[in-house]
Amino acid sequence: MSQRLHLVFGGELVDPSKNQFKNVDEIHIVGMFPDYQSAYNAWKAEAQRTVDNAHTRYFIAHLHRLRDEKTAASPTEELDP
């Protein structure tokens, strides 16, 4: 079984209805976690801590999905000229 890494991060968004950060340099990296439950607990703690700021959001990134070498890579916006 592969290692299932999760990254928890967040920060202030330009608009609460979108997922675009206001300032990428100020993204808060909460940490890397070895399982979903511990990542969820960290995410929930940060989300509750910032509940009064509608522009602040936290996310869980499933890094193990990015490391799956058996799955073909998909194009991204960054690669578009």
Q: Which residues contact 73 (CB under 8 A, 6 or more apart)?
A: none
Beta strands in 17-55 (DSSP E): 28-33
Domain boundaries, the chain: 6-70
Would you say residue 30 has pLDDT above 50?
A: yes
Would you say residue 73 has pLDDT above 60?
A: no
Top-confidence residue, 4 or 11: 11
CA distance 77 to 31: 25
Would you say residue 1 has pLDDT above 60?
A: no
Tokens of 24: 């990428």
Dihedral pair phi/psi, residue 21, rounded to 5°: -75, 145
The tens digit of pLDDT for each residue in 49-69 reads 999 999 999 999 988 777 666
Say what the pLDDT of residue 60 is.
94
Reduced to 3 DSSP states, what percent helix, strand and coil does the chain have, rounded to the nearest 5?
Answer: 30, 25, 45
Would you say residue 13 has pLDDT above 60?
A: yes
How high does pLDDT run on average in the chain? Answer: 85
| Superfamily holding 6-70 | Uncharacterised protein PF13773, DUF4170 (3.30.70.2400)
Task: Report pTM.
Answer: 0.76
